[in-house]
Amino acid sequence: MNALSPIGLIDSGAGGISVLKEAVRLMPQERYLFYGDQKNAPYGTKSKEEVLALVRAAVQYLLSRDIKALVLACNTATARAARELREELTIPVIGMEPALKPASFLYRGGKILVLATPGTLSSEKYGLLSSRWGQHAVSVPCPGLMEFVEEGGFDDPALLRYLENLFEPWRQSQVDAIVLGCTHYVFLKSLIQRFFPNTPVLDGNEGTVRQLQRVLDSRDLLLPPGETGSVTIESSGTSEHLAVLHRLFELPG
């Protein structure tokens, strides 16, 4: 493990590409290896034991590529596996966290909606986070939503119907903030904003990358500015799955 080694990122599928894009934006000099476990997606409806086994397998592959740090670019993987991996690995392990803390400061008497997978919302990690910062939060489980991103179905009428049904209970309510508790949902941010045009929509991507930056710096593992960075994207799935990852990475914004 040295500063020249890549930073490894894993996700159950394509959502972690949104974290990768943020990392490249803030640390363009670094080398990145992203692994999307699309063959086994989604993680959010699987048991803790299943997710932990899948994440461990993905991590072993990345370790064979000599990564210097691991980013669990998936809220469910973080909730189900981060603690165990930190006990097992010597490299830094950085996880995701729904942006509930910054959202709590936006409370003005309304509701804070937390959109996430059932696996994230039922996890002990999220329960602890919610007990501290979620007094006004409403958990909104979104089974099936990440699949629209995996399939690139941003123009699918079924996606709009899904969101319309999801948000119907809150359309007449005061919503002070919306938290995207799944990295896939970041790609749906503009669509979600249509339903709540004046409501802040928050995600944890920048905070995660800032933490990664701090940890690498503390271990003298940051590459200096001016180095030529690189991005390698791989998938456990098909060539079509891999094409989705590349397409999402190339999206503007």
**Domains of the chain, each with CATH number or no CATH:** 7-96+205-249 (3.40.50.1860), 100-203 (3.40.50.1860)
Instruction: Indicate if 182 belongs to the active site.
Output: yes
Collapse the DSSP code of 155 into the 3-class scheme (helix H, G, I; strand E, B; otherwise coil) and give the result.
coil
Mean pLDDT in residue range 112-128: 92
Task: Give residue 151's pLDDT band: very low, low, confident or very high (50, 70, 90).
Answer: confident
**142 part of the active site:** no
Q: Rank 16-25, 42-51, 223-232 by mean pLDDT and report only the highest.
A: 16-25
Catalytic residue among 14, 81, 82, 182: 182
Catalytic residue selected from 74, 93, 113, 149: 74
pLDDT score, position 224: 86
Measured in degrees and rounded to the nearest 5, phi and psi for residue 144 equal 90, -10
CB atoms within 10 A of CB 112: 24
Return d(Cα 252, Cα 244) in angstroms, integer. 15
Q: Average pLDDT of 211-235?
A: 95
